[in-house]
Protein backbone atom coordinates (compact mmCIF):
# COMPACT_ATOMS: atom_id res chain seq x y z
CA UNK A 1 0.00 0.00 0.00
CA UNK A 2 1.39 3.40 -0.92
CA UNK A 3 -0.63 6.48 -1.62
CA UNK A 4 1.19 9.74 -2.33
CA UNK A 5 -0.43 13.05 -1.47
CA UNK A 6 0.95 16.51 -2.13
CA UNK A 7 -0.67 19.48 -0.44
CA UNK A 8 -0.01 23.04 -1.59
CA UNK A 9 3.61 22.40 -2.59
CA UNK A 10 5.42 25.57 -3.63
CA UNK A 11 9.08 26.07 -4.43
CA UNK A 12 11.17 29.16 -5.04
CA UNK A 13 14.83 29.37 -5.99
CA UNK A 14 15.73 32.83 -4.70
CA UNK A 15 13.30 35.23 -6.37
CA UNK A 16 12.13 32.70 -8.94
CA UNK A 17 8.98 30.79 -8.00
CA UNK A 18 9.06 27.54 -9.97
CA UNK A 19 6.19 25.57 -8.36
CA UNK A 20 2.84 27.08 -7.39
CA UNK A 21 0.53 25.40 -4.85
CA UNK A 22 0.62 21.89 -6.26
CA UNK A 23 -2.13 19.60 -4.90
CA UNK A 24 -2.14 15.97 -6.02
CA UNK A 25 -3.66 12.77 -4.69
CA UNK A 26 -2.01 9.71 -6.22
CA UNK A 27 -3.67 6.37 -5.50
CA UNK A 28 -2.03 3.15 -4.38
CA UNK A 29 -0.54 1.17 -7.33
CA UNK A 30 -1.16 4.02 -9.73
CA UNK A 31 1.26 4.84 -12.57
CA UNK A 32 1.23 8.64 -12.74
CA UNK A 33 3.21 10.59 -15.32
CA UNK A 34 4.27 14.24 -14.87
CA UNK A 35 4.54 15.71 -18.35
CA UNK A 36 5.27 19.20 -19.59
CA UNK A 37 7.83 21.23 -21.52
CA UNK A 38 11.42 21.60 -20.37
CA UNK A 39 11.72 23.92 -17.37
CA UNK A 40 8.10 23.55 -16.19
CA UNK A 41 9.19 22.11 -12.83
CA UNK A 42 8.80 18.33 -13.29
CA UNK A 43 12.20 17.35 -11.89
CA UNK A 44 11.95 19.83 -9.04
CA UNK A 45 8.58 18.38 -7.99
CA UNK A 46 9.90 14.82 -8.17
CA UNK A 47 13.03 15.76 -6.21
CA UNK A 48 10.84 17.30 -3.51
CA UNK A 49 8.88 14.03 -3.27
CA UNK A 50 12.19 12.15 -3.03
CA UNK A 51 13.51 14.49 -0.35
CA UNK A 52 16.45 15.63 -2.49
CA UNK A 53 15.05 19.16 -2.50
CA UNK A 54 13.04 20.93 0.19
CA UNK A 55 9.72 22.58 -0.65
CA UNK A 56 9.43 26.25 0.26
CA UNK A 57 5.96 25.45 1.61
CA UNK A 58 3.46 22.59 1.56
CA UNK A 59 3.32 19.00 2.79
CA UNK A 60 3.99 15.54 1.41
CA UNK A 61 2.28 12.37 2.67
CA UNK A 62 3.24 8.79 1.82
CA UNK A 63 0.61 6.31 2.97
CA UNK A 64 -0.97 9.08 5.00
CA UNK A 65 2.24 9.74 6.97
CA UNK A 66 3.74 13.18 6.66
CA UNK A 67 7.29 12.92 5.28
CA UNK A 68 7.85 16.57 4.30
CA UNK A 69 10.97 16.81 6.40
CA UNK A 70 11.97 13.15 6.47
CA UNK A 71 15.40 12.11 5.20
CA UNK A 72 15.29 10.59 1.67
CA UNK A 73 16.23 7.08 2.88
CA UNK A 74 13.42 7.15 5.44
CA UNK A 75 10.70 7.91 2.90
CA UNK A 76 10.47 4.43 1.36
CA UNK A 77 11.00 5.77 -2.13
CA UNK A 78 13.47 4.93 -4.83
CA UNK A 79 14.49 7.13 -7.76
CA UNK A 80 15.83 6.21 -11.21
CA UNK A 81 17.44 8.98 -13.24
CA UNK A 82 18.14 9.65 -16.90
CA UNK A 83 21.87 9.14 -16.39
CA UNK A 84 22.14 5.76 -14.75
CA UNK A 85 25.23 5.81 -12.55
CA UNK A 86 26.41 2.19 -12.52
CA UNK A 87 29.73 1.09 -11.03
CA UNK A 88 31.78 0.14 -14.12
CA UNK A 89 34.15 -2.22 -12.25
CA UNK A 90 31.32 -4.19 -10.61
CA UNK A 91 29.31 -6.96 -12.28
CA UNK A 92 25.62 -6.55 -13.04
CA UNK A 93 24.95 -8.77 -10.02
CA UNK A 94 26.97 -6.55 -7.68
CA UNK A 95 25.48 -3.36 -9.15
CA UNK A 96 21.97 -4.63 -8.40
CA UNK A 97 23.07 -5.97 -5.00
CA UNK A 98 24.76 -2.71 -4.00
CA UNK A 99 22.01 -1.20 -1.80
CA UNK A 100 21.58 -4.56 -0.07
CA UNK A 101 25.32 -4.79 0.66
CA UNK A 102 25.15 -1.29 2.13
CA UNK A 103 22.21 -2.46 4.28
CA UNK A 104 24.34 -5.53 5.30
CA UNK A 105 21.68 -8.03 4.25
CA UNK A 106 22.74 -11.64 4.79
CA UNK A 107 23.88 -13.60 1.73
CA UNK A 108 20.91 -15.90 1.01
CA UNK A 109 18.30 -13.13 1.32
CA UNK A 110 20.46 -10.83 -0.82
CA UNK A 111 20.86 -13.48 -3.49
CA UNK A 112 17.12 -14.18 -3.58
CA UNK A 113 16.33 -10.49 -4.10
CA UNK A 114 18.95 -10.00 -6.83
CA UNK A 115 17.80 -13.14 -8.67
CA UNK A 116 14.17 -12.03 -8.47
CA UNK A 117 14.96 -8.53 -9.79
CA UNK A 118 17.05 -10.07 -12.59
CA UNK A 119 14.18 -12.39 -13.53
CA UNK A 120 11.67 -9.53 -13.66
CA UNK A 121 14.03 -7.42 -15.78
CA UNK A 122 15.22 -10.31 -17.96
CA UNK A 123 18.83 -9.87 -16.88
CA UNK A 124 19.42 -13.37 -15.50
CA UNK A 125 21.94 -14.30 -18.20
CA UNK A 126 23.73 -10.94 -17.85
CA UNK A 127 24.49 -11.05 -14.13
CA UNK A 128 28.21 -11.82 -14.59
CA UNK A 129 28.83 -9.11 -17.17
CA UNK A 130 30.17 -5.61 -16.50
CA UNK A 131 28.05 -2.53 -17.42
CA UNK A 132 30.43 -1.79 -20.31
CA UNK A 133 29.35 -5.04 -21.99
CA UNK A 134 25.66 -4.07 -21.99
CA UNK A 135 23.47 -2.04 -24.35
CA UNK A 136 21.98 1.27 -23.18
CA UNK A 137 18.62 -0.35 -22.52
CA UNK A 138 20.17 -3.19 -20.51
CA UNK A 139 22.17 -0.71 -18.41
CA UNK A 140 18.98 1.22 -17.66
CA UNK A 141 17.38 -2.08 -16.58
CA UNK A 142 20.27 -2.67 -14.16
CA UNK A 143 19.65 0.77 -12.66
CA UNK A 144 15.97 -0.14 -12.27
CA UNK A 145 17.00 -3.48 -10.73
CA UNK A 146 18.95 -1.64 -8.10
CA UNK A 147 15.82 0.27 -7.12
CA UNK A 148 13.59 -2.86 -7.17
CA UNK A 149 15.68 -4.78 -4.60
CA UNK A 150 15.06 -2.04 -2.04
CA UNK A 151 11.32 -2.74 -2.32
CA UNK A 152 10.34 0.91 -2.07
CA UNK A 153 6.76 2.02 -1.45
CA UNK A 154 6.95 4.45 -4.36
CA UNK A 155 9.16 4.34 -7.47
CA UNK A 156 10.19 7.67 -8.97
CA UNK A 157 11.58 7.94 -12.50
CA UNK A 158 13.06 11.10 -14.01
CA UNK A 159 13.20 10.83 -17.81
CA UNK A 160 14.84 7.39 -17.60
CA UNK A 161 14.55 6.74 -21.34
CA UNK A 162 15.76 10.08 -22.73
CA UNK A 163 19.26 8.81 -23.50
CA UNK A 164 18.02 5.83 -25.51
CA UNK A 165 17.37 5.76 -29.24
CA UNK A 166 13.79 5.82 -30.52
CA UNK A 167 13.38 2.06 -31.09
CA UNK A 168 14.74 1.21 -27.66
CA UNK A 169 12.55 3.83 -26.02
CA UNK A 170 9.52 2.11 -27.53
CA UNK A 171 10.65 -1.26 -26.16
CA UNK A 172 11.42 0.14 -22.72
CA UNK A 173 7.99 1.79 -22.56
CA UNK A 174 6.40 -1.62 -22.91
CA UNK A 175 8.81 -3.11 -20.36
CA UNK A 176 8.11 -0.41 -17.79
CA UNK A 177 4.36 -0.94 -18.16
CA UNK A 178 4.92 -4.66 -17.68
CA UNK A 179 7.15 -3.94 -14.66
CA UNK A 180 4.44 -1.77 -13.14
CA UNK A 181 1.91 -4.59 -13.47
CA UNK A 182 4.31 -7.18 -12.08
CA UNK A 183 5.49 -5.13 -9.08
CA UNK A 184 2.03 -3.74 -8.37
CA UNK A 185 3.71 -0.59 -7.07
CA UNK A 186 2.93 3.11 -7.05
CA UNK A 187 5.06 4.81 -9.70
CA UNK A 188 5.63 8.44 -10.63
CA UNK A 189 7.33 8.99 -13.95
CA UNK A 190 8.59 12.31 -15.33
CA UNK A 191 8.92 12.95 -19.06
CA UNK A 192 8.63 15.76 -21.61
CA UNK A 193 7.40 13.19 -24.15
CA UNK A 194 3.62 13.11 -24.50
CA UNK A 195 3.75 9.71 -26.23
CA UNK A 196 5.41 8.18 -23.13
CA UNK A 197 2.77 9.86 -20.99
CA UNK A 198 -0.15 8.65 -23.11
CA UNK A 199 1.10 5.07 -23.44
CA UNK A 200 2.22 4.35 -19.87
CA UNK A 201 0.13 6.45 -17.50
CA UNK A 202 -2.96 5.51 -15.57
CA UNK A 203 -3.27 9.24 -15.04
CA UNK A 204 -1.25 12.18 -16.38
CA UNK A 205 -0.37 15.42 -14.60
CA UNK A 206 0.21 18.14 -17.20
CA UNK A 207 2.50 20.82 -15.77
CA UNK A 208 2.97 24.24 -17.30
CA UNK A 209 5.04 26.99 -15.71
CA UNK A 210 5.02 25.27 -12.32
CA UNK A 211 1.23 24.83 -12.23
CA UNK A 212 -0.98 21.79 -12.75
CA UNK A 213 -2.95 22.40 -15.94
CA UNK A 214 -4.89 19.15 -15.68
CA UNK A 215 -4.76 15.75 -13.94
CA UNK A 216 -6.65 12.93 -15.62
CA UNK A 217 -6.54 9.70 -17.58
CA UNK A 218 -4.90 9.80 -21.02
CA UNK A 219 -8.22 9.56 -22.87
CA UNK A 220 -9.80 12.16 -20.58
CA UNK A 221 -7.03 14.61 -21.53
CA UNK A 222 -7.33 13.68 -25.18
CA UNK A 223 -11.11 14.07 -25.41
CA UNK A 224 -11.66 16.72 -22.75
CA UNK A 225 -8.60 18.96 -22.47
CA UNK A 226 -9.36 21.67 -19.91
CA UNK A 227 -7.10 24.22 -21.53
CA UNK A 228 -5.62 25.18 -24.85
CA UNK A 229 -2.20 24.19 -23.47
CA UNK A 230 -3.26 20.62 -22.68
CA UNK A 231 -5.13 20.40 -25.99
CA UNK A 232 -2.05 21.20 -28.01
CA UNK A 233 0.38 19.27 -25.82
CA UNK A 234 -1.49 15.94 -25.95
CA UNK A 235 -2.05 14.29 -29.34
CA UNK A 236 0.12 13.74 -32.38
CA UNK A 237 0.07 15.57 -34.80
CA UNK A 238 -0.85 18.56 -32.64
CA UNK A 239 -4.39 19.89 -32.50
CA UNK A 240 -5.10 22.70 -34.99
CA UNK A 241 -6.09 26.03 -33.47
CA UNK A 242 -8.03 28.52 -35.55
CA UNK A 243 -9.12 31.98 -34.40
CA UNK A 244 -12.88 32.45 -34.77
CA UNK A 245 -15.46 35.11 -34.05
CA UNK A 246 -18.63 34.53 -32.05
CA UNK A 247 -21.78 35.28 -34.08
CA UNK A 248 -24.24 34.52 -31.28
CA UNK A 249 -26.05 31.64 -29.61
CA UNK A 250 -28.46 29.27 -31.34
CA UNK A 251 -30.49 26.32 -30.04
CA UNK A 252 -27.64 23.99 -31.09
CA UNK A 253 -24.97 25.99 -29.31
CA UNK A 254 -22.50 28.72 -30.13
CA UNK A 255 -22.40 30.06 -33.70
CA UNK A 256 -18.93 31.06 -34.86
CA UNK A 257 -17.34 32.30 -38.05
CA UNK A 258 -13.91 31.16 -39.18
CA UNK A 259 -11.41 33.01 -41.36
CA UNK A 260 -12.54 32.56 -44.94
CA UNK A 261 -16.21 32.75 -43.94
CA UNK A 262 -17.03 29.17 -42.88
CA UNK A 263 -19.71 29.12 -40.17
CA UNK A 264 -20.26 26.45 -37.55
CA UNK A 265 -22.68 25.91 -34.68
CA UNK A 266 -20.75 24.21 -31.91
CA UNK A 267 -22.43 22.36 -29.01
CA UNK A 268 -20.84 24.38 -26.21
CA UNK A 269 -22.27 26.70 -23.57
CA UNK A 270 -21.85 30.37 -24.43
CA UNK A 271 -20.76 31.24 -20.88
CA UNK A 272 -20.10 34.96 -21.02
CA UNK A 273 -19.26 34.98 -24.74
CA UNK A 274 -21.15 37.54 -26.80
CA UNK A 275 -21.40 38.34 -30.48
CA UNK A 276 -18.12 39.75 -31.76
CA UNK A 277 -15.94 38.04 -29.13
CA UNK A 278 -12.82 36.24 -30.22
CA UNK A 279 -12.52 32.53 -29.43
CA UNK A 280 -10.27 29.80 -30.70
CA UNK A 281 -11.49 26.54 -32.07
CA UNK A 282 -9.42 23.38 -31.83
CA UNK A 283 -9.68 20.53 -34.30
CA UNK A 284 -7.59 17.36 -34.12
CA UNK A 285 -6.04 16.40 -37.48
CA UNK A 286 -7.55 12.91 -37.17
CA UNK A 287 -11.08 14.33 -36.74
CA UNK A 288 -11.08 15.90 -40.21
CA UNK A 289 -12.57 14.19 -43.26
CA UNK A 290 -12.85 15.00 -46.94
CA UNK A 291 -15.84 17.17 -47.90
CA UNK A 292 -17.13 20.15 -45.95
CA UNK A 293 -16.87 23.89 -45.37
CA UNK A 294 -13.30 24.08 -44.08
CA UNK A 295 -10.47 24.52 -46.51
CA UNK A 296 -6.85 23.50 -46.38
CA UNK A 297 -4.25 24.48 -48.91
CA UNK A 298 -1.97 21.42 -49.08
CA UNK A 299 1.72 22.28 -49.02
CA UNK A 300 3.18 18.99 -47.90
CA UNK A 301 1.63 15.53 -48.14
CA UNK A 302 3.07 12.60 -46.21
CA UNK A 303 1.68 9.20 -47.07
CA UNK A 304 2.42 6.92 -44.14
CA UNK A 305 0.53 3.93 -45.52
CA UNK A 306 -2.43 3.69 -43.17
CA UNK A 307 -2.88 7.44 -43.13
CA UNK A 308 -2.01 10.48 -45.24
CA UNK A 309 -0.93 13.51 -43.22
CA UNK A 310 -1.19 16.85 -44.97
CA UNK A 311 0.33 20.09 -43.75
CA UNK A 312 -0.64 23.48 -45.08
CA UNK A 313 -2.58 26.61 -44.26
CA UNK A 314 -6.21 27.55 -43.61
CA UNK A 315 -7.76 30.63 -45.24
CA UNK A 316 -6.72 32.83 -42.29
CA UNK A 317 -3.10 31.92 -42.99
CA UNK A 318 -2.68 29.74 -39.88
CA UNK A 319 -0.95 26.39 -40.06
CA UNK A 320 -3.35 23.53 -40.50
CA UNK A 321 -2.90 19.77 -40.54
CA UNK A 322 -5.24 16.96 -41.53
CA UNK A 323 -4.87 13.21 -41.13
CA UNK A 324 -6.83 11.41 -43.83
CA UNK A 325 -7.09 7.80 -45.01
CA UNK A 326 -3.83 6.52 -46.52
CA UNK A 327 -5.09 6.42 -50.08
CA UNK A 328 -7.15 9.64 -49.99
CA UNK A 329 -7.17 11.07 -53.56
CA UNK A 330 -5.35 14.30 -52.73
CA UNK A 331 -2.24 16.08 -54.02
CA UNK A 332 0.26 18.70 -52.95
CA UNK A 333 -0.67 22.19 -54.17
CA UNK A 334 -4.43 21.70 -54.18
CA UNK A 335 -7.00 23.23 -51.82
CA UNK A 336 -9.09 20.62 -50.01
CA UNK A 337 -12.63 20.98 -48.70
CA UNK A 338 -12.74 19.34 -45.28
CA UNK A 339 -15.38 18.70 -42.67
CA UNK A 340 -15.52 17.86 -38.98
CA UNK A 341 -18.33 16.72 -36.68
CA UNK A 342 -19.33 19.70 -34.48
CA UNK A 343 -19.09 17.49 -31.37
CA UNK A 344 -15.40 16.89 -32.14
CA UNK A 345 -14.55 20.60 -32.12
CA UNK A 346 -13.03 22.13 -28.98
CA UNK A 347 -13.67 25.80 -28.22
CA UNK A 348 -11.36 27.94 -26.08
CA UNK A 349 -12.20 31.31 -24.60
CA UNK A 350 -9.89 34.32 -24.62
CA UNK A 351 -8.11 33.01 -21.52
CA UNK A 352 -7.35 29.63 -23.12
CA UNK A 353 -9.94 27.76 -20.97
CA UNK A 354 -12.15 25.23 -22.72
CA UNK A 355 -15.81 26.26 -23.08
CA UNK A 356 -18.15 23.68 -21.53
CA UNK A 357 -19.92 21.27 -23.82
CA UNK A 358 -23.70 21.19 -23.92
CA UNK A 359 -23.68 17.39 -23.78
CA UNK A 360 -20.66 15.31 -22.87
CA UNK A 361 -19.75 12.67 -25.47
CA UNK A 362 -19.10 9.09 -24.36
CA UNK A 363 -15.66 8.63 -22.88
CA UNK A 364 -13.37 5.66 -23.20
CA UNK A 365 -11.33 5.77 -20.00
Judged by the rule CB under 6 A, the positions of this chain that interact with ligand ADP are 13, 18, 36, 38-44
Look at residue 146 and give the partner it binds from ligand ADP, Mg ion, none, a contact being a CB closer than 5 to 8 Å depending on partner kind. none
Residue 39 interacting partner from Mg ion, ligand ADP, none (CB closer than 5 to 8 Å by kind): ligand ADP
- Binding residue count for Mg ion, defined by CB under 5 A: 1
Instruction: Give the shortest CB-159-to-ligand ADP separation in angstroms.
Output: 8
- Residue closer to Mg ion by CB (options 43, 186) is 43
Which CB, 29 or 192, lies closer to ligand ADP?
Answer: 192
Q: How far is CA 323 from CA 165, 244, 250, in A?
A: 26, 22, 30
Q: Which is nearer to ligand ADP, 39 or 361 (CB)?
A: 39
Q: 43 vs 214, which CB is nearer to Mg ion?
A: 43
Q: Does 43 bind Mg ion (CB under 5 A)?
A: yes
Pick one of Mg ion, ligand ADP, none as the site partner of residue 41 (Cβ within 5 to 8 A by kind): ligand ADP
CB 358, CB 342: distance < 8 Å: no
**How far is the C-alpha of 231 from the C-alpha of 357, rounded, in Å?**
15
Residue 260, sorted as left (phi over 0), alpha (psi -120 to 50) or beta, turns out to be left
Out of ligand ADP, Mg ion, none, what residue 18 binds, judged by CB under 5 to 8 A for its kind, is: ligand ADP
Please tell me the distance from the alpha carbon of residue 3 to that of residue 213, in angstroms, as a whole number: 22
Q: Which stretch binds Mg ion (CB under 5 A): 39-47, 96-104, 205-213, 247-255?
A: 39-47
Q: Of 110 and 190, which CB lies nearer to ligand ADP in the complex structure?
A: 190
Beta-strand pair 16-26/4-13: antiparallel
> What is the rounded CA–CA span in Å between residue 273 and residue 276?
9
* DSSP 3-state percent helix, strand, coil across the chain (nearest 5): 25, 35, 40
Burial (CB < 10 A; 0-12, 13-18, 19+), residue 96, is buried
| Residue ranges in contact with Mg ion by CB under 5 A | 43
Amino acid sequence: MATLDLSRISKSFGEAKVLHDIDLAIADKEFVVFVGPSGCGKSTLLRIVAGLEEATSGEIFIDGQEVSRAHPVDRGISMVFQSYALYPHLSVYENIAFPLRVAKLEKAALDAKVQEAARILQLTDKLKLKPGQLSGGQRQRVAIGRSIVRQPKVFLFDEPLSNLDAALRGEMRVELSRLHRELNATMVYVTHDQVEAMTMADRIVVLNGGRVEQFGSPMELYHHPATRFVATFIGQPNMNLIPAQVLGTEPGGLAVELPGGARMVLPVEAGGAASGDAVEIGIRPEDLRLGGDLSLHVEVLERLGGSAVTYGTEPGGGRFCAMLPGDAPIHEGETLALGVAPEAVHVFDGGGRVMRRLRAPALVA
